[in-house]
A = this chain, B = another copy of it.
């Protein structure tokens, strides 16, 4: 079988590890949220709304989570059906402002402990100092 000699490239290897780690985390996260009939991205929307503290447009949500308009529509569709979220009319009639509902806030509150514990558990192989180091490196990478 032919074989190409590949020079050792530390950048490529680091990148592959990063992609692999990210992939694992997404899968674990999606599996976790499956218990509530959501995906990680649905939860992301809720947290973005909660963080914003005020209703924001769908396109703004998409911008903050790096997702397409079309996908935000579908995410909101489900969250609205679950009453976690409401679509509000707005001065600009192209725009629908998305508001976190009381039910949605209760969902965040009720699941928060478990979510944070899972996060800490995922990072358990690293010491607190290492976690901080990782965080800073990623900040630089995401500039």
Contacts and interface: CB of A to CB of B under 8 A. Distances in A.
A15 B133 CA distance: 12
A112 B4 CA distance: 10
Contacts of A100: 1-3
Contact of A19 (B6, B22, B120, B131): B22
How often does this chain occur in the complex, in copies?
2
Contacts of A35: none
A104 B19 CA distance: 24
A14 to B, nearest CB: 4
B112 A126 contact: no
Interface of A: 1-4, 6-7, 9-15, 17-26, 29, 47, 49-51, 53-55, 66, 99-102, 104-105, 108-109, 112, 115-116, 119-120, 122-123, 125-126, 128, 130-135, 137-143
